[in-house]
Amino acid sequence: MKDDSRYNIGDCFETFPFPLDFESSPALDRAGRIYHEHRSALMVSRNEGMTKIYNRFQDPAETGEDIQRLRELHAAMDRAVLEAYGWNDLAESAAPIFLDKNSEDDHAYQGRLFWPSEFRDEVLARLLALNAERHSEEVSLGTAPEMKGNARQDEDAELEDVE
């Protein structure tokens, strides 16, 4: 095994502090469905795959109406997610911009349509705080992943027995 970073579902996905009831949210479903339908139609109409479409999405010189609409729908999806967390103040001010050396110190983000660093930092700080809050709740309930004999580990063990 290598000693570099790797994606681990248990560490990354299962512990992510998703919005409450995100799986049954009509607003999230609608925003995601509209975005997906437009992107799919765009890929078919241009006869291009996802990589080419997103290269267009990220290109400030791309001014096609269909790509502009994709950008608008992406921003609407971002706002829907922020609202699902109850962060309406952030949803109201969420505005992606094309980042350049004047608006972004991190070279990796320059040339991309993304939130400015201060906005990203605020979102990440809130996610980190929410994750800590939920972890504290799990610890108090005895269901935190690292706690031996917790309900989650018992369920995992039962699933392994079934397999």
d(CA 88, CA 94) in angstroms, rounded, equals 10
d(CA 137, CA 99) in angstroms, rounded, equals 38
pLDDT number for residue 145? 75
pLDDT number for residue 144? 80
Per-residue model confidence as pLDDT tens digits over 92-101: 999 999 999 9
pLDDT number for residue 50? 96
pLDDT exceeds 90 at position 4: no
Residue 98: its H or E element? strand 97-98
Asked whether the CA dihedral 97, 98, 101, 102 is positive or negative, the reply is negative
Answer yes or no: are the C-beta atoms of 68 and 56 closer than 8 Å. Answer: no
pLDDT exceeds 90 at position 147: no
Across 33-62, average pLDDT: 97
The DSSP bridge partners found for residue 97 are 114
pLDDT number for residue 123? 97
pLDDT exceeds 80 at position 152: no
pLDDT number for residue 15? 79
